[in-house]
Amino acid sequence: DIQMTQSPSTLSASVGDRVTITCRASQSIGYWLAWYQVKPGIAPKLLINKASSLESGVPSRFSGSGSGTEFTLTISSLQPDDFATYFCQQYNSNLWTFGQGTKVEIK
Amino acid sequence: QVQLQESGPGLVKPSDTLSLNCTVSGYSISTGYYWGWIRRPPGKGLEWIGSVHHSGGTYYNPSLESRVSMSIDASKNQFSLKLTSVTAADTALYYCARERRDFDYWGRGTLVTVS
């Protein structure tokens, strides 16, 4: 299995902050990586696919980068609606795996 | 707009079978795509359980494969999950989602407790 490791597991930040979350793969996955936003009671939201391609309707303050084994999700200016848990997912192999999640909390 | 809604018992006894349905609206599942199940145990991350193709083909997470089955009911625009011989470790929030290798539409999830 390809293991996905996210860091940090928890992040405390303020509205307006620039936030970066890292996801590392245990082997190269090319650019086959997605990022999701998960909130309680709400359907998870796909933010980014193919490492850096923003899904339709997702605010431009979200961006993704990376390839191979190291990837980042950046929120350029954190908004109140962005406090949530974020997961990465690799889809390089036929066994889809997710990171353990990064919870973005209000500082 | 594609929408998915999970349904099924919220409480299952140990050793019993967990059965969930996912009803899709805004898209005919017989048209295309894979349709998947993902779960999140309390305090843990997401785990892909498996996916079913619109034609009925399936593929599962090897860690669960011996206990999982999935199927499509095109007449109801639904797909389903069955997980046998459940234990407390199967307690989780279960999501259904449309798969295109990533997952672009999800349901809100349904909590299943094994006790």
DSSP for A46-88 reads EEEETTTEEPTT--TTEEEEEETTEEEEEESS--GGG-SEEEE
- pLDDT number for residue B61: 96
Question: How much is the pLDDT for A36?
Answer: 98
Question: How many angstroms separate the CA of residue B30 from the nearest CA in chain A?
Answer: 22
* pLDDT at residue A19 tops 90: yes
- Closest to B27 (Cα-Cα) out of B77, B99, B96, B75: B77
Q: Which of B45, B61, B95 sits opposite A44 (nearest CB)?
A: B95
pLDDT value for B56: 86
* pLDDT for res B45: 94
A35 touches chain B (CB under 8 A): no
Confidence of residue A107 (pLDDT cuts 50, 70, 90): confident
Q: Which residues does B contribute to its contact with A (CB < 8 Å)?
A: 4, 38, 40, 44-48, 59, 61-62, 95, 97, 101-109
With beta carbons under 8 A apart, name residues in chain A contacting B105: 43
Is A31 an 8 Å CB contact of chain B?
A: no
Q: Distance between CA atoms of A72 and B81, rounded to whole angstroms? A: 33
pLDDT in tens, A34-88: 999 999 999 999 999 999 999 999 999 999 999 999 999 999 999 999 999 999 9
**Mean pLDDT for chain B overall:** 96
pLDDT, tens digit (0-9, with 9 covering 90-100), for B1-28: 999 999 999 999 999 999 999 999 999 9
Q: How far apart are CA B15 and CA B18, in angstroms?
A: 9
Q: Which residues of chain B carry a pLDDT beneath 70?
A: none
Does A97 reach chain B within 8 Å, measured CB to CB?
yes
Please report residues of A whose CB lies closer than 8 A to that of B47. 98
- Please give the Cα distance from B29 to A17 (Å, whole number): 41
Average pLDDT, chain A: 96
Predicted pLDDT of residue A90: 96
Nearest CA-CA distance, residue B38 and chain A, Å: 10
Q: What is the DSSP letter of A10?
A: E
**Taking CB atoms and an 8 Å cutoff, what residues of chain A touch B108?**
41-43
Q: Which of A41, A46, A95 sits opposite B102 (nearest CB)?
A: A46
